[in-house]
A and B are shown apart, each in its own frame.
Chain A
Amino acid sequence: MSRVIPPVAGAPHGQLVAGGEPFVFHCNHYNYWLQKIVLIADGMDEACKDAAASTAYAAVTNACAELGLEDPAARLELASGLFSQHGFGTLDFSGTTAQGGQVRALTSHYGQCLGMCAGIKSFETPQNLFDQGFVAGALAAAHGLPAGSFKASPVSCHSTGAEVGVTSLEPREPPADFFVAPGIGAEPCAELPPPNSETNVDEAAILEALAGLDFSGNEEGLIPRFGVLLTLHFANYYNRISYEFLRRMAHTGMNAYAEELLVDSGHHCAFNTFGGIMKSAEWGAVVEPQCKTKEDWVHGIVAVVNALGWGVWRVAELSPDRLVIRVYDGYESRGYVGLYGQTPDPVSYLARGGVAGIMNLLYVGDIREGPELDDAYYAKIFDTETSFVATCTTSRAAGAEYTEIVAERRS
């Protein structure tokens, strides 16, 4: 199986960059929960499509320039390759021209893998908003048109029971305020401390071992790993839809509620992704042999996080009732600054949910016992008086050296 793809390069401080855009690993659970949450706000379906179109446009345009690809067919081949390699599915652009047309998704992460998280076979509305936006942006990039040149509409979607996902692309005048993906965002911070040494875990060895595993999309363009389905996704897609959701909810006076919803999507990410990783055979082989104590499991999962492109996490303080994580160049902060400039308000919602999740998995429940990661167990460890909640005490997006997340028990 060969694909034309932009190479993913490791950039400073944990970033994974391709076509000038930063990418982060997230699983179908986070993709399901985040999309479900942001669609609460009016107009977010189109915002999701536009975010996907913009980030795809940027990556495809930059990658084609790097590789010297000028022919539209070659550019679309790269776009298809990127889509599949990063775990989004498989695309067929043969029904398109510079005037639009229809794109077929033979397989789709958003179309076929979110139902697994929802526990349902079919949704009422198409879940493949990302796919629709991606193909719109990719087609514009392929033909050298401005971003936002195509309106994407669903014809059919796996998530509503169709065999194939089909998106219709119609030409349009690009909206004047069309979102422009900011690339890597804010510049990296200067200094990066080494991993916490008060552990038996060797982070460098873990990262080296993980580098030997294949995290590319299979022949279906999907990435089944750790018992979940991963995507190597656009950081700026996540950032744009999250912060646009907040902006729209602020107009309704429900900003605080919206922020808690974003943190909650991080809780679900931690429960399913971190929990899935810590129950996986890969963890059993690579990380668990180094773990002598429960605290080592915290250091171990933090080491794995540092392979996900999220930035660099460091354990600053750890006890059975408190975890302090310092996030250096987290993708949320860097992306926010790139999109909107600095802000005094913390913006690292996923990180908050993740840090609280680590403590709930180990110090409220005990993931080392291999529990079933079902709804009942989620409620048992996240929804009690002794469950951990996390707050942000400093923020990179405000100009601080790092974002500090503190998880303590609710009571």
Chain B
Amino acid sequence: MAFTRALHGRCMRGLHWLYQTTPTLDAEVLVEALNEAWDQNLIRGDEQWGALHVVRLIMQFQVEFRIGEREGQISLIHRVSSSDEVRELSHARLEAILSRLLPAESL
């Protein structure tokens, strides 16, 4: 796969996942794709971390995405009150987008 996913760590017990893509996707392309997948219902917030520009996309009470924290990294943070079903759907939608946008790995 052109992306991997891993748990951020034990602090948030399965809430925070890190996706790593190769190559790094253009942030606005990814934002547009995520918005389309969530029917334009994502709330956007932009933060400046030093020289980095981080985009936060939030589907309230379901999931938050953070794009731009590190090269090639996308954070997926489930909301505490989200159900297992919603969490699985969030992963599935993001992974479908990544599979579509990333070049297929050469054999």
Contact = CB atoms under 8 A, between A and B. Distances in A.
Contacts of B52: 285
Nearest to B13: A116
A218 interface: yes
Interface string A1-34: 1000000000000000000000000001100000
Nearest to A113: B80
B10 A119 contact: yes
Interface in A182-230: 209, 212-214, 218-220, 222, 224, 227-229
Given A285-B52, A285-B69, A229 B12 contact: yes
Contacts, number: 82
Given A213-B47, A285-B49, A224 B13 contact: no
Contacts of B69: 281-282, 284-285
Nearest to A219: B60
B94 to A, nearest CB: 17
B31 to A, nearest CB: 18
A330 interface: no
Chain A contact residues: over half helix, strand or loop, or mixed? Answer: mixed
Nearest to A283: B49
Interface in B57-91: 58, 60-61, 64, 66, 69-70, 73, 75, 77, 79-81
A252 B50 CA distance: 52
B10 A107 contact: no
Interface in A247-292: 272, 276, 279, 281-282, 284-286, 289
A110 to B, nearest CB: 12
A209 B49 contact: yes
A212 B48 contact: yes
A227 B8 contact: yes
Contact of A107 (B9, B13, B81): B81
A224 B75 CA distance: 12
A282 B69 CA distance: 7
Interface of B: 8-13, 15-16, 45, 47-52, 54, 56, 58, 60-61, 64, 66, 69-70, 73, 75, 77, 79-81
